[in-house]
Structure 1
């Protein structure tokens, strides 16, 4: 769940643990709530120079410390917070230096704000990125970040790594998202590029699906992309879309909001009739 104000974003742990992130345009801070004492403890912080716009927390059960941060010029950084922990006894309020953990950048071809990020709950290797519009490029990009393994590996006593399945682990959830018809010079981690000539303000994968992706387009359209084919099928419903919420218990029930209106869509299809 994401709660957002003009200059703060709060993200609860994606697997309902007792941790949460608070992000601003220049910093992200991880806190932990002690259930026994009701104390909120500062765990670690990470800061940057370029203003950020959006943050997503990976739901991968293999680790708790991977976040994606979208910036005002369009790039997305994948950050591990493990090495950013302050030394025991450090005082956060006295200006102590914040160390940097491993990170990797997902670049954008043409600079414009990154508006929205969403990891896929069914396969957290998929990351959807929503961007402002630009005449000669797509505004919705689907990345497969599993190839970031080597860069984001942390050498520690427990040998934490980024999404490296142990020997004998089950294969990735099916179906896999196929690679679309994209330019040969495009980053090989990009699987599909969608939405030409419009801005994408919000994105969300359906909870139990690897290939069904929702996107708010130009604040006026809610679109569902079926990514099982290189040329996705698209269903559209007219609605005010500044944000999207999915129901973890019923993946066919969707809500979106905008201009003071909340819209419920019990079934997303080309003939959907929203209720407000």
Structure 2
């Protein structure tokens, strides 16, 4: 991979991982209570915290993307997408004896895996985005447990899995396939309605689907902002996505056009809603040493329209950032990562000066 990525654990407050050529697991501790043991090496993340390396997984040589299983058990279960489209379930050390470890999901034709997204509620469902290949689907939704009763009514669009003859642990047909005409560039499940999801399709549309009827989109908006689509975990009506230097936010109750469009000075490379604060949207741009955090809570209301609040969070040494990850339970806390692998633990403090900026529509 061209750069490292970082992910906070969805279930452990004190763990995160980085991945690139290998997947490394770390534990975070407080410097106030740190007592180094002989030969122990740690990474200083901030003036208050450090990271200790726990384990490494080098079993999958070409890692395109990693998704961390959102349940505590099995511990540290990871879905790893590869350049050939194969998805492998893996972990670290002590969890290797679990039945799911080593299970593989293989699309019909070899093509790159672009994203992996676990369903946050029905955690047996894993969405994979694939490069376009002829008439094959660009979205594959796998059921990792295959707990389907043969007597249960199943829509014709759903395809139950089947194992390959050569490897009984390899799943060759997805639970659901979708998107035979366009490539899917991004994907996000809705947190309060786990049977629905939104995907950026064909550089032209955001489409919302319901698993109970995937024959057509439930809602659709025409836009060039189809990358990095994400649903606000604390507001099921809010969606954000980007293209080039623009970030757009939609409200499902008026999905025809964005309620907010932000213009950045440089191309956007990552956006994500804060999981602990309603309406906080983080934006990272290419070759930037800072992350902008927009408070969009009052966008669309009479109190603040047409303005939003912006907070800028900079790396400690002004290094260019390549990735960030919100902490799943600690308020306003995130990890940043540079292309060289330098990690920083940052909190978006409320006392940071705020700047009102014009809303662009």
RMSD between aligned alpha carbons?
Answer: 2.9
- Specify the alignment match of 2:70 in structure 1: 59
Q: Is the 8 A contact 1:224 1:268 kept in 2?
A: no
Q: Is the 8 A contact 1:59 1:124 kept in 2?
A: yes
The answer to whether the aligner puts 1:231 opposite 2:215 as a matched pair is yes
- Specify the alignment match of 2:18 in structure 1: 22
Q: Secondary structure at the match of 2:236?
A: strand
Deviation string 1:128-164 (CA, Å, 9 cap, x unpaired) is 111111112101011111249xxxxxxxxxxxxxxxx
Deviation string 1:91-112 (CA, Å, 9 cap, x unpaired) is xxxxxxxxxx931110010111
Deviation string 1:239-266 (CA, Å, 9 cap, x unpaired) is 3222122211112111112212111112
Looking at structure 1, the residues matched to 228 and 160 of structure 2 have their Cα atoms a distance apart, in angstroms, of 33
Q: Is the 8 A contact 1:29 1:45 kept in 2?
A: yes
TM-score, with structure 1 as normaliser: 0.73
TM-score, with structure 2 as normaliser: 0.57
Q: Is the 8 A contact 1:67 1:79 kept in 2?
A: yes
The answer to whether the aligner puts 1:258 opposite 2:263 as a matched pair is no
- Specify the alignment match of 1:241 in structure 2: 226
Q: Is the 8 A contact 1:83 1:102 kept in 2?
A: no
Q: How does 1:97-136 map to 2 (within 5 A)?
A: 102-136=101-135
Looking at structure 2, the residues matched to 192 and 116 of structure 1 have their Cα atoms a distance apart, in angstroms, of 16
C-alpha deviation, 1:189, in angstroms: 6.3
Q: Secondary structure at the match of 2:94?
A: helix
Q: Secondary structure at the match of 1:251?
A: coil
Q: Is the 8 A contact 2:66 2:78 kept in 1?
A: yes
Looking at structure 2, the residues matched to 266 and 20 of structure 1 have their Cα atoms a distance apart, in angstroms, of 32
Runs of 4+ in 1 over 4 A off after TM superposition: 176-180, 182-189
- Change in 2 beyond 3 A, CA 1:60/1:33: same
Q: Secondary structure at the match of 1:29?
A: strand
Looking at structure 2, the residues matched to 120 and 210 of structure 1 have their Cα atoms a distance apart, in angstroms, of 7
Structure 2 gaps of 5+ residues are 35-48, 163-170, 262-361
Q: How does 1:1-276 map to 2 (within 5 A)?
A: 6-15=2-11, 17-24=13-20, 26-35=21-30, 36-37=33-34, 38-48=49-59, 50-83=61-94, 102-147=101-146, 178=154, 180-181=156-157, 187=171, 190-229=174-213, 231-237=215-221, 238-267=223-252, 271-273=256-258, 275-276=260-261
- Change in 2 beyond 3 A, CA 1:203/1:145: same
C-alpha deviation, 1:51, in angstroms: 1.6
Task: Count residues with an aligned counterpart.
Answer: 229
Which one has a bigger Cα radius of gyration? Answer: 2
